[in-house]
A = this chain, B = another copy of it.
Amino acid sequence: MRHLCMPEGLCARDVTKLEHIISVTRKIRRGDALFRTGDTFDSLYAVRSGSLKTVVTNDGSRDGGRERMTGLLLAGDALGLDGIGDGRHTCDAVALEDSSVCVVPYALFERMCRETDSLQRRMHRMMSQAINREAEHVVRLGMLRADERVARLLLDMSARLARRGYATAEFTMRMTRDDIGSYLGMTLETVSRTLSRFDKLGLIEAQGKSIRIRDFDGLRGI
């Protein structure tokens, strides 16, 4: 469990201290929310098992509150950084499958950051990397076509799972087509059509949520 949560680059003693803080874990059942927009922020979380999505419910006039998925969190990912800014969460975090998270009370964590250099450094790096991931996502949305976006999502999922020790070519998409669409800025129909086309082209085998990548270079070349 240790290696799943936040550590990395902490000495043994620091890890022990950290462990003391994050002694609480919490289970979330598929479809349930870990937190919702507007909830007061008091803890950070690290995904222990399962996966979650973050969504914002756009208060736009025209859409009448359509949901928009903004993030996909896998085991080991940190979650809840959005709440630090104003003390309230700015999005919902919903479990895509039955999942569990480590709970990290922020007040304690903040204090410990001050005492432990390496933890502070790690915290800053984590947040910086979160910023970069978002920026990367913006680039995807803004200058790629629908099929390029889907291809990159598949490759990205594969890489992230590989880093966690899972098979790279075969995995289950926990998101619905609707989620994928809202994550990539397109409609669920376009997602479905694109996956079907990739399948016909021999790039992947897709049936429902289970994906098998057959031609990595082909996908990269889309």
Q: Tell me the A residues contacting B by CB distance below 8 Å.
A: 56, 58, 60-63, 66, 68, 70-71, 81-86, 90-91, 110, 113-114, 117, 120-121, 123-125, 127-132, 134-135, 137-139, 141-144, 148, 182-185, 220-221
Contacts and interface: CB of A to CB of B under 8 A. Distances in A.
Given A58-B139, A113-B114, A141-B141, 18 more contacts: A56-B135, A56-B139, A66-B143, A68-B143, A81-B128, A82-B128, A82-B135, A83-B128, A84-B127, A85-B132, A113-B120, A114-B114, A114-B120, A120-B120, A127-B131, A134-B134, A142-B183, A142-B185
Contacts of A68: 139, 142-143
B221 A138 contact: no
Given A58-B143, A110-B121, A135 B85 contact: no
15 contacts: A61-B221, A62-B148, A70-B138, A83-B128, A84-B124, A84-B127, A84-B128, A85-B125, A85-B129, A85-B132, A90-B132, A90-B135, A123-B124, A141-B185, A143-B182
A60 to B, nearest CB: 8
